[in-house]
Chain A
Amino acid sequence: MPGFFREAARRVFAQELKDSNLTSRDESDQYAPQYVLTPTGAKVNRIFLVGTLIEKEDIGTDSEYWRGRVSDPTGSFLVYAGQYQPEAAQFLSECELPAFVAVVGKTSTYTTDDGNVLTSIRPESIQQVDELTRNLWVLDTAKQTLERIRAVEAEEDQNSKLAKEHYSTDTDSYRTMVKKALESLEERK
């Protein structure tokens, strides 16, 4: 379909997003979205995650600028919300810790002086949710990650080939990550 389409919100565990350092963008178009390609070949612009908000801090100098840390079974995501994300910023300023939160947002990357790529999330929305929703997300994300791991192993499409080439993805370690995440659900039986 020509013209506008909505970016699907990818499901990626924190550990995998942290390992990501390949960004791409269509340079000819200043409005082109920026993507992060993860080691299992998820091409992420928008992301959906549910986890536990464990820290929050107003790091702004003039105006409020909130940083939140949201953890999942494999690590944590950093979420930044300032004046251009008023709803999310308000949520962060008001909510009590810890809390299960669902975050929809865009990934943004920052390259440090020594070449590390840090990926954070600019939220479009943050809502408080229940534990069940968090568990559903873990299951959902595990399923989609496994599917991507399989695609990388088979070098099935463009993204998985590119990921394999760039990261020399050790799929075993990501299988272990998924297993860990799934087992965290098991324990609650």
Chain B
Amino acid sequence: MKQTAESIRDRFLKLGVDVPVEDVESRLDELINKFKVPSNEAQRSVTNYFLKKYSIPKNEFYVRQAEPQLTKIVDISENGQWANLKAKVVQLWENTHESISQVGLLGDETGIIKFTEWKNAELPRLEQGESYLLRSVVVGEYNGRFQVQLNKNSSVEKLDEPIAVGGGDFTPAARESELRNISDLAGGQWATVKGKVVQLWENSHESIEQAGLLGDHTGVIKFTNWASSELPDMEEGKSYLLKNVVVNEWGGKAQIQLNRSSSIEELDENIEVGSSTSTYFGAMVDIQTGSGLIKRCPECKRALVKGACAEHGKVKGEYDLRIKAVLDSGTSTQDALINRELTEELAGISLDTAIAMAADALDPGVVLDKLKHELVGRYYTVTGHKLDRYILVDSITQKTSLDREKLDEMLTLNETLNKPEVQ
């Protein structure tokens, strides 16, 4: 601890301030031994105390310190490490959070790394394609990958000579991504897609320009066009070529995002959207919560949770009936959404009856129980459009007869297979 105290004193001496070493030590002692603060935290806290006491700006103090050596991106290997980098801004991304001022990729001859610049760092804006000397950035780890963060203590200096980036030029403009079918899109890639705007959704957030569904002959996918992409609006029913969109996965399903690097071209052709109807046969093994008698927001039709809509807050809901069912074939499972009409038909109750049942029992749960009672355990075939993990059910039929032919066929098959081994 004595050493720590002296090193703190030494650092202040360099700034021309003589702090009493006993004072430093007693403060450290109190934090570490009495209040069980980890030593490095205590050290920082004590340092900050004296900085404040002598009104030394933090930046000045930290910058004056012996500078860490220049680090190559490939050598970044430790969470919490400080580093100085000479790197080129390979790509700037959409900024998703208000406390972040810029986010993107930095590259040098050894590799590429993600960077985040916090708003409170108050640094000049970095430009894509320019090279900089970045001092005192902090290495962080997120999702198993390293990234660097620019904070209040970091500094940025533009370099005249460009830094070469290893592995070629990563700027998306230089590398047009491949044209792909919508059904082949998977997370974490760039792609170019051709598709028709099947549906435009009501815009839920000011940072989103447009969101909706895009379809081609292989399927339908959700798209988001960020306001910051500064791309033109698309119209429902028209077909477009979307270049350099980002595919990512959310909740296990792929979606595409248009950003500043993307482009939109309207096409003359009318792209046929594949009728991606699928059929599934299995036993209904579960009806999930959120099924039965529910209330929907009168504005956006979303299901209410505890009487409130995620978008519009407390609203007077409209009653609806629906089933979120899980069908199971024994080797796979399939979620199915069954609308009011089909629910009424399947369960033999109308919406009004359901409302009356719930009112009578003072509990909408009785409707759910009734549905489970009528449907769970039975075999059904459903058909409908596939959206994410759901089949939006157009038709559902209960299996009502045993396939005698199949039975006979299986018996004979079993016989014939059995015989050679018996002999």
Distance (whole angstroms) from the CB of B390 to the closest CB of chain A: 13
Distance (whole angstroms) from the CB of B250 to the closest CB of chain A: 11
Distance (whole angstroms) from the CB of B327 to the closest CB of chain A: 10
Cross-chain contact of A133 among B333, B377, B413 (Cβ < 8 A): B377
**Residues on B with beta carbons closer than 8 Å to the beta carbon of A103:** 377
Q: Is the CB of A186 within 8 A of B407?
A: yes
Distance (whole angstroms) from the CB of A133 to the closest CB of chain B: 5
Indicate if B316 sits at the interface (CB-CB under 8 A): no
Known: A178-B414, A179-B411. A9 touches B283 (CB 8 A): yes
Query: Once bound together, how far apart are the Cα atoms of A104 and B326, in whole Å?
Result: 12
Known: A129-B378, A172-B418. A182 touches B411 (CB 8 A): yes
| Residues of chain A from 82 to 133 with CB closer than 8 A to chain B in the complex | 87, 101-104, 124-125, 127-129, 132-133
Query: Once bound together, how far apart are the Cα atoms of A93 and B259, in whole Å?
Result: 60
Indicate if B94 sits at the interface (CB-CB under 8 A): no
Count A-side interface residues using an 8 Å CB cutoff: 45
Cross-chain contact of A132 among B326, B333, B400 (Cβ < 8 A): B400
Indicate if B332 sits at the interface (CB-CB under 8 A): yes
Distance (whole angstroms) from the CB of A144 to the closest CB of chain B: 5
Question: Which of the segments A30-38, A56-64, A72-80, A134-142 contacts the partner chain?
Answer: A134-142
Q: Is the CB of B407 within 8 A of A175?
A: no
Indicate if B55 sits at the interface (CB-CB under 8 A): no
Cross-chain contact of B411 among A127, A132, A141, A186 (Cβ < 8 A): A186
Indicate if B373 sits at the interface (CB-CB under 8 A): yes
Query: Once bound together, how far apart are the Cα atoms of A136 and B283, in whole Å?
Result: 10
Cross-chain contact of B372 among A2, A50, A101, A127 (Cβ < 8 A): A127
Indicate if A48 sits at the interface (CB-CB under 8 A): yes
Chain B at the A interface: mostly helix, strand, loop or mixed?
mixed
| Residues of chain B from 16 to 46 with CB closer than 8 A to chain A in the complex | none
Which of B330, B403, B415 neighbours the largest number of chain A CB atoms within 10 Å of its CB?
B330
| Residues of chain A from 163 to 181 with CB closer than 8 A to chain B in the complex | 172, 175-176, 178-179
Q: Is the CB of A102 within 8 A of B283?
A: yes
| Residues of chain B from 287 to 335 with CB closer than 8 A to chain A in the complex | 326, 328-333
| Residues of chain B from 358 to 372 with CB closer than 8 A to chain A in the complex | 369, 372
Query: Once bound together, how far apart are the Cα atoms of A140 and B285, in whole Å?
Result: 14
**Residues on B with beta carbons closer than 8 Å to the beta carbon of A10:** 330
Known: A124-B286, A127-B376, A136-B399. A142 touches B410 (CB 8 A): yes
Distance (whole angstroms) from the CB of A70 to the closest CB of chain B: 12
Query: Once bound together, how far apart are the Cα atoms of A102 and B380, in whole Å?
Result: 14
Query: Once bound together, how far apart are the Cα atoms of A141 and B379, in whole Å?
Result: 13
Indicate the size class of the contact surface on chain B: 35 or more
Q: What is the chain A residue whose CB lies nearest that of B421?
A: A172
Indicate if A8 sits at the interface (CB-CB under 8 A): yes
Query: Once bound together, how far apart are the Cα atoms of A141 and B413, in whole Å?
Result: 15
**Residues on A with beta carbons closer than 8 Å to the beta carbon of B378:** 102, 129, 133
Q: What is the chain A residue whose CB lies nearest that of B187?
A: A2
Q: Is the CB of B372 within 8 A of A125?
A: yes
Query: Once bound together, how far apart are the Cα atoms of A3 and B413, in whole Å?
Result: 40
Indicate if B402 sits at the interface (CB-CB under 8 A): yes
Indicate if B404 sits at the interface (CB-CB under 8 A): yes
Query: Once bound together, how far apart are the Cα atoms of A178 and B415, in whole Å?
Result: 11
Distance (whole angstroms) from the CB of B158 to the closest CB of chain A: 40
Indicate if A156 sits at the interface (CB-CB under 8 A): no
Distance (whole angstroms) from the CB of B395 to the closest CB of chain A: 19
Q: Is the CB of B410 within 8 A of A143?
A: yes
Q: Is the CB of B252 within 8 A of A182?
A: no
Cross-chain contact of A50 among B377, B399, B411, B417 (Cβ < 8 A): B377
Known: A1-B252, A125-B377, A182-B414. A139 touches B285 (CB 8 A): no
Indicate if A22 sits at the interface (CB-CB under 8 A): no
Query: Once bound together, how far apart are the Cα atoms of A104 and B287, in whole Å?
Result: 12
Known: A102-B377, A125-B372, A185-B407. A175 touches B414 (CB 8 A): yes
Indicate if B401 sits at the interface (CB-CB under 8 A): yes
Indicate if B174 sits at the interface (CB-CB under 8 A): no
Query: Once bound together, how far apart are the Cα atoms of A183 and B408, in whole Å?
Result: 9
Distance (whole angstroms) from the CB of A42 to the closest CB of chain B: 9
| Residues of chain A from 45 to 61 with CB closer than 8 A to chain B in the complex | 46, 48, 50
Cross-chain contact of B376 among A7, A102, A132, A141 (Cβ < 8 A): A102
Distance (whole angstroms) from the CB of A163 to the closest CB of chain B: 16
**Residues on B with beta carbons closer than 8 Å to the beta carbon of A132:** 400-402
Distance (whole angstroms) from the CB of B95 to the closest CB of chain A: 26
Please give me the 6 A-B residue pairs with the lowest Cβ-Cβ distance, nearest first: A102-B377, A11-B330, A127-B377, A104-B285, A9-B328, A6-B333
A-B pairs with beta carbons under 8 Å apart, 7 shown: A48-B283, A101-B377, A125-B285, A139-B406, A139-B407, A142-B410, A175-B417
- Which residues does B use to contact A, with CB under 8 Å? 252, 283, 285-286, 326, 328-333, 369, 372-373, 376-379, 399-404, 406-407, 410-411, 413-415, 417-418, 421-422
